[in-house]
Structure formats: C-alpha cells, structure tokens
Amino acid sequence: MSDINRQIIACNIADMLEDGMFVNLGVGIPTLISNYISYGKTVLLHGENGCIGQDKVLDNDKLLYDRKEITEWLASHGGKDSDWRRGHRDLNNAGDSFITMIPGASCFDSAMSFAMARGGRLDATVLGGLQIDKYGNLANWMVPGKMINGMGGAMDLVCGAKKVIVAMEHCSKSGAPKIVEECSLPLTAVACVDVVVTELCVMEHKDNKYLVKSISPNTSPDEILSKTEATVVFDTEVKTMRIPPA
Amino acid sequence: MNKIINLKEAVDLIHSGDTVMVGGFTYFGCPLHLLYELADREVDNLTIISEDLGYGGLPYLQGAGVLINNGQVKEAQVSFIGYYPEITEAVKDERLKLTLIPQGTLAERIRAGGSGLGGFYTPVGVGTVVEEGKEIKIINNKKYLLEYPLRADVALIKCKTADHLGNAAFKYTAENFNPLMAMAADLVILETEELVENGAIEPDSVDLPGVFVDKIVLCKDVVI
C-alpha cells in the first residue's frame, strides 16, 4: 500500500478520536495514528501487549535488520538512563515498535489487558481489514492456502469495544473490492464494524449499508461506487477528508 | 531452600514430550537464554504454548520458533505467527500441528489453568472458525463459547528483577504472559536479569509471588 494512502487513513482516524477517549490501536496502519493526534487532546492509547498511554513510536524499526545495531540498542537501553520517557528495551507496542509513554501511563499483564477489552472499557478499537461486508462482518487474519497470520488479539478487541473502526485501503493490491456483499475469508468477528476509513472515504455501517460521511478531494462518488461491492449511500452533507502534507 | 541454578541445570529439567509454556510478546519478556540453550539439546516432541513464535526470516530474535526450525516441536498453541513464514511452511508440510487461539482467550485459559478453574464462557470467536466443536451457551441473551483451561509441564518465564525466593518484578510491557504462565505449570523456571537479596523488592512491588517459581536462572547479558 502506498505510504500516502496509509497517512491519509491514519490522520482521518486521528481526527475522529476525542479528548479523553480510551482507544486500542492494532498492527499496521493504526500504529501511524498516534503521530496525528493533535496537541492539547489526550487520547489514552491501549496496547494489547499490556500498556495504556503510548506516546511516540520510536523510529528505529530498521535496527531490527542489523544484528549488531539491535544488539547495541538493546544493551544500551536497559539501564538507569532508559525509561518510559525516553524509550526502554522492555517497552513496545502491539506492533512491536519501541515506544515512549505519556505521564500517567500504566503497564499490566495480558489477562488484564484483554479483561479491559472484553469488559467494555475501550471507547474504540482501530484495526486493519482484508475484507468487510454488508453485515458488518470483518475478516483480517488469514487467507486460506496463502497467508496464516493468526488472529492475535483482534477477535478479543472487537468483541467489547464500544466502536470498531477498520483502517484499510479501499481495494486489494489486485484492485478487487474489499468492501463486499459477503466476506469470503475466515471471519474475525460477526456484525462488528461501525466505521471504515479508506484512502477514498469515511463510511459508517448501518442497516446492511455503508453511509459515506466524507470523501477524499482526490476521488468522486462514482469512483467509490465502482470500487465498493456492498451497498453505498451518501450522507445528505458529505464532508471532505483531510489530506496530510506529503 | 535454594532455587538458584545455572542455565545448563535448568534446561536439564526439560524432557522430550513435555508441554512447555514460553512467556513473552515476541522478544519482549521472552526467556531467550533458556530457549537457545534448549535449542542446543536433544529434546523433541515438545508442545509449545506461547503468544507467538518470535521473528522469522532473521537468524536471531526467533523466540520459540527456533525450536520449530530445529524440528523439536510437534505441536504449537499460539495466537499470532504473522512474523514467521517458516512456520506457515512447517504447517503446510504437516511437520507441525498448529492451533491458533485468540490472544485474550489464550491468556484467560492459562489463567484458568493456574487458578484451579474448569474453564469459562467467552463471547470471543462466536460466528468464526474458533467456535467449531465448542459448547455454545446463551447467557443473558448473548452467545458464549466454553473454553477449557490450559496447563503445562514446564513454564519458561523471564523477568527484570528477582529475589532468592523467586519474587519477581517485571519491567513495562515485558510482563505480558509471564506471570500467568508461572501459575499454570508444574515446573516454573524463571530467567532473571538481576538477582537481589530478599527484601530488596518492596513487598507491594512484587508482580509475581515467589511461591509460583521453582527455579531461578540469572542471565545478565543481552542475547537476541
């Protein structure tokens, strides 16, 4: 997926998150969202691996692919000079990036992490998708015969969150619609999707339809209709999506 | 009472055919010293229970996947293998029986196994392949699946600081599955970065009480 599409999706989801909300960010595009949350707004970000209060994602993923560099980084980030403010070798998010945290953050074990998810504490959970359908079903964890990812925490997270936001490109790499009549891939959960944000539009799922709330200035209603298999309707007043500076 | 042993003595306690829980979320909180020592042994037919299997495609940070690449594992029960194309191949070739479990359900099944519970009902997985073969119960007009507890012969866990009784303190997100697994195995081996005198960890800062820990191995250096 092109980087600009990912950034468009991430910044428009960041704009939906309100001050004081408690939100889980999944792996992939959702991990980009924290960089777009505007100053003065406190959104408590949940990492399924056991933390609340992620601040910045440290841009050191490339370290991972150099054995010497990652070893040196780990060795130098476990002592007294390392902490939640500056980054630590024992502090990651669910996407496995090193992170910093905000004052007031907390860490806990995996049972508590998912108890708060299933228990209905999350105001929203944001996760990637391979397919969604008119029933609000979500498929995002495997393509039979090709890819086994495992569901990770996705099934648990969508189960209790007050709002499920799917962040994905509008069509697959081959150009096939990902918003379909009925999912053909193994489901993550049934009737769970509330909102989907793609590089083309923001849509709410309701009554077996997708209601377009805003569209990108780079597209048209016709393009959205042609690239969406499930029924699409347009809100009476369709807003314009924000495009982040390149 | 002396719980402190060295790495070789610790891994001597793991036998072919054992079910082994491995703590960690990828390499965060993962007992890599214990795993890599086990990977050097003639121990096989293992069943691994873990959140994930580490990174594939790298000659390091492999987590419990290193045991699968070695052919030491017959079965794995995990929630995520997205970083590991070699595991997908092992499953396709039927060298490995893989069971995927939603991560929160995995945590709770382990917690149930360690807490003397016979299982629990969860809404997670209803309407998906996860529900296949499971009892469904309607509670307050909502569908739930019956999930059974998980236990293991051995748990390999990792902490930042431990005292001589096995009281353990975890750092940030390196806690994850470690304290849960410590509750759910017959033999619990704790890999710690620091060993301190009893009393050096404030009683209310102990994340895992030492009663759950059988053996302690001090591993100061960073391995990847």
Does some domain include residue A102?
A: yes
Average pLDDT over residues B122-137: 98
| B27 in Cβ contact with B224 (< 8 Å) | yes
Same domain, A198 and A142: yes
Among A101-110, B34-43, B83-92, B167-176, the minimum mean pLDDT is found in B83-92
Residue B187 has pLDDT above 70, yes or no: yes
Give B58's contacts in chain A (Cβ within 8 Å). 64-65
State the pLDDT at residue A125: 97
Same domain, A124 and A14: yes
Same domain, A191 and A224: yes
Amino acid residing at B158: K
b vs e for B132-165, b when ≥16 Cβ sit within 10 Å of the residue's Cβ?
A: eebeeeeeeeeebbebebbbbbbbbbbbbbbbbb
What pairing do the DSSP bridges indicate for beta strands B215-218 and B185-196? Answer: parallel
Does some domain include residue B124?
A: yes
Does some domain include residue B199?
A: yes
A67 vs B100: CB contact, 8 Å cut-off?
A: no
- Burial class of A226 by CB neighbour count within 10 A (0 to 12, 13 to 18, 19+): exposed
Check the CA dihedral A151-A157-A160-A166 and report its sign: negative
pLDDT in tens, A63-99: 888 899 999 999 999 988 999 999 999 999 988 889 9
> How many structural domains comprise chain A?
2
DSSP states along B79-91: SB-TT-HHHHHHH
Among A177-181, A226-230, B80-84, B107-111, the minimum mean pLDDT is found in B80-84
User: Residue A198 belongs to a domain with what CATH number?
Assistant: 3.40.1080.10
What average pLDDT does chain A have? 94
SS3 of residue B145 by DSSP: strand
Does some domain include residue B178?
A: yes
User: Residue B132 belongs to a domain with what CATH number?
Assistant: 3.40.1080.10
State the pLDDT at residue B207: 98
Confidence of residue A126 (pLDDT cuts 50, 70, 90): very high
How many cross-chain Cβ pairs, A to B, lie less than 8 Å apart?
A: 154
- Return the percentage of chain A with pLDDT > 70, whole number: 100
Same domain, A223 and A122: yes
Q: What is the ipTM of this complex?
A: 0.96
Does some domain include residue A149?
A: yes
Same domain, A133 and A173: yes
**Domain assignment of residue A15, given as a range:** 3-32+110-240
**Domain assignment of residue B27, given as a range:** 7-218
Residue A111 has pLDDT above 80, yes or no: yes
State the pLDDT at residue A225: 98
d(CA A96, CA B51): 13
What average pLDDT does chain B have? 96
- Burial class of B53 by CB neighbour count within 10 A (0 to 12, 13 to 18, 19+): buried
For residue B150, how far is the Cα from the chain centroid? 11
A150 vs B125: CB contact, 8 Å cut-off?
A: no
d(CA A56, CA A84): 10
Does some domain include residue B27?
A: yes
Residue A242 has pLDDT above 60, yes or no: yes
Does some domain include residue A43?
A: no
pLDDT in tens, B103-123: 999 999 999 999 999 999 999
d(CA B179, CA B182): 5
Does some domain include residue A154?
A: yes
SS3 of residue B8 by DSSP: helix
Per-residue tokens: A98: 């090193």
Same domain, A69 and A162: no
Does some domain include residue A120?
A: yes
Residue A234 has pLDDT above 70, yes or no: yes
Q: Pick from A84, A111, A148: which is nearest to B172 by CB?
A: A84
Same domain, A134 and A218: yes
- Return the percentage of chain B with pLDDT > 70, whole number: 100
Give me the helix-helix angle, B103-114 and A110-118, nearest 10°. 120
State the pLDDT at residue B71: 95
Same domain, A130 and A177: yes
Same domain, A15 and A69: no
Point out the domain boundary residue: A68, A88, A107.
A107
Average pLDDT over residues A140-159: 91
State the pLDDT at residue A232: 98
Same domain, A207 and A184: yes
What pairing do the DSSP bridges indicate for beta strands A232-240 and B19-22? Answer: unpaired
Interface of B with A in 70-89 (CB under 8 A): 78-83, 87-88
d(CA B67, CA A242): 48
